[in-house]
């Protein structure tokens, strides 16, 4: 099963998982909510250090409602940070 991760562009701490690739089924959390797609996750191959048991309650909620709202913080994996150059100062 693929699940899709979205973030509310108007609130960097509001996130949602959806069973719908477009995220159109995710309700707004504020009048200014604009859900933006972040990542597709294959539940059969969760990246380390997680496994499917860590997400069982989320998956149950997705099966029932089609979406799961939560608050959190997006942290870039170390592999993405390595290749970046530091910003140029003027």
Task: For residues 38-55, give the mean pLDDT.
Answer: 76
CA dist 90 and 23 (Å) reads 39
The most confident of 19-33, 39-53, 64-78, by mean pLDDT: 19-33
Q: List Cβ neighbours of 59 (8 Å cut-off, separation of 6 or more).
A: 1, 3, 43, 52
Residue whose token pair is 């870039």: 76
pLDDT score of 81: 52
Q: Is the pLDDT of residue 71 over 80?
A: yes
Looking at the chain, the whole-number percentage of residues with pLDDT higher than 70 is: 73
pLDDT score of 53: 74
CA dist 39 and 62 (Å) reads 16
pLDDT category of residue 47 using cuts at 50, 70 and 90 = low
């Amino acid at each position: 099963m693929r699940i899709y991760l979205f973030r509310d562009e108007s609130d960097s701490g509001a996130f949602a998982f959806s069973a719908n690739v477009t995220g159109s089924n995710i309700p707004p959390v504020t009048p200014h909510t604009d859900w933006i797609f972040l990542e597709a996750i294959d539940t059969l191959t969760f990246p380390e250090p997680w496994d499917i048991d860590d997400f069982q309650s989320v998956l149950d909620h997705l099966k029932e409602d089609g979406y799961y709202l939560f608050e959190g913080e997006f942290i870039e994996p170390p592999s993405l940070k390595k290749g970046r150059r530091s910003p140029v100062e003027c």
